[in-house]
Amino acid sequence: MLGIESSCDETGVAILRWEPDAPGKGLLAHTLYSQIKLHADYGGVVPELASRDHVRKLLPLIREALAQAGLGVRDLGGVAYTAGPGLVGALLVGASVGRALAWALDVPALAVHHMEGHLLAPLLEEDPPEPPFVALLVSGGHSLLVEVKAIGQYTILGDTLDDAAGEAFDKTAKLMGLPYPGGPALAKLAEQGRPGVFRFSRPMTDRPGLDFSFSGLKTQVLLAWQKSDQSEQTRADVARAFEEAIVDTLIIKCRRALEATGARRLVIAGGVGANRRLRAELVAAGEHDGFRVYFPRLAFCTDNGAMIALAGAIRLASGQRQDETVQVRPRWDLQSLPAA
């Protein structure tokens, strides 16, 4: 299975041989190109530039992945591509190439939901989780708590009402003058911060519910930063307090979701899942409360082709495939997917 990811600002390609009992062992190749330098001057992703860069990079990456795997294009048995959600132009690049390649090779094509790919990414590890479990999907565009009864049977327990967690990281970093991409820069700076110098609220944890809201937290940080001496140490102190607020909020909501569903397994996926503080404190919470946490490796927290190849392979194994229409969905409800 060839997997193609092009939903935003990273072009990912992977080749996976389907191994039902150990999906990760079947990963034959994985290539990725990030557009960070392309968008750095603008302080964020420019959709048209992202689409054009996917056009330039996708075919060379497919050739590179085939070479890594020691395969020819005729060895492929299926093509999976991200069909949404994401930037419509970027999605169309991957979908057009993926669908055309499948048609030319006369092999099945699979349109994959981007968030299902993230949700399934921990299955690529040596000790993968088995449903039922709760998944926290946290990235620049999404903050979701999902109950997973089986692959394809998803119930959204909580969603963001405004900024996603990763988006809050990036915007907060930008208002504090940190370089793009702001999220990783802010997390790195937070390691130098002193505990307790600043404290920000844990949004929407003072009431029942599993939804998220981080726009108000971002405003708190802005006001604290503007009123401070804006020294380098203060910048680090603010960054630490902000990161602690985000992490604490996510952990509180995860605990609530596990209690509400009765699940004892928690999957963390998406770019924010690479955050060191979040990983360490979730593991500690699991040891205290008696639940187990599953993470993908750091390379598979961000967008990648391996998770798309895996999701496509699972769908194909259950007998699903796409028709010859090239269709993408910039908005796509995860709960609308059929069971696999």
Residue positions in the annotated binding site for substrate?
A: 137-141, 170, 183, 275
The C-alpha atoms of residue 336 and residue 276 are separated, in whole angstroms, by 33
The C-alpha atoms of residue 120 and residue 51 are separated, in whole angstroms, by 25
Residue ranges in the chain assigned as alpha helix (H) = 36-40, 47-69, 88-105, 114-120, 165-175, 182-190, 215-227, 232-261, 276-289, 305-317
The C-alpha atoms of residue 338 and residue 340 are separated, in whole angstroms, by 6
Total residues found in the chain within this entry:
340
Point out the annotated binding site for Fe cation. Answer: 114, 118, 303
| Cβ pair 147, 257 in contact under 8 A | yes
Structure-token pair, residue 283:
């593991």
In angstroms, how far is CA 141 from the centroid of its own chain? 9
Name the amino acid, one letter, at 224. A
DSSP letter string, 83-140: EESS-HHHHHHHHHHHHHHHHHHT--EEEEEHHHHHHHGGGGSSS---SSEEEEEESS
The C-alpha atoms of residue 225 and residue 309 are separated, in whole angstroms, by 43
3-class DSSP state for residue 9? Answer: coil
3-class DSSP state for residue 286? Answer: helix
Point out the annotated binding site. Answer: 114, 118, 137-141, 170, 183, 275, 303
H or E element at residue 77:
none
Indicate the DSSP class of residue 217: H
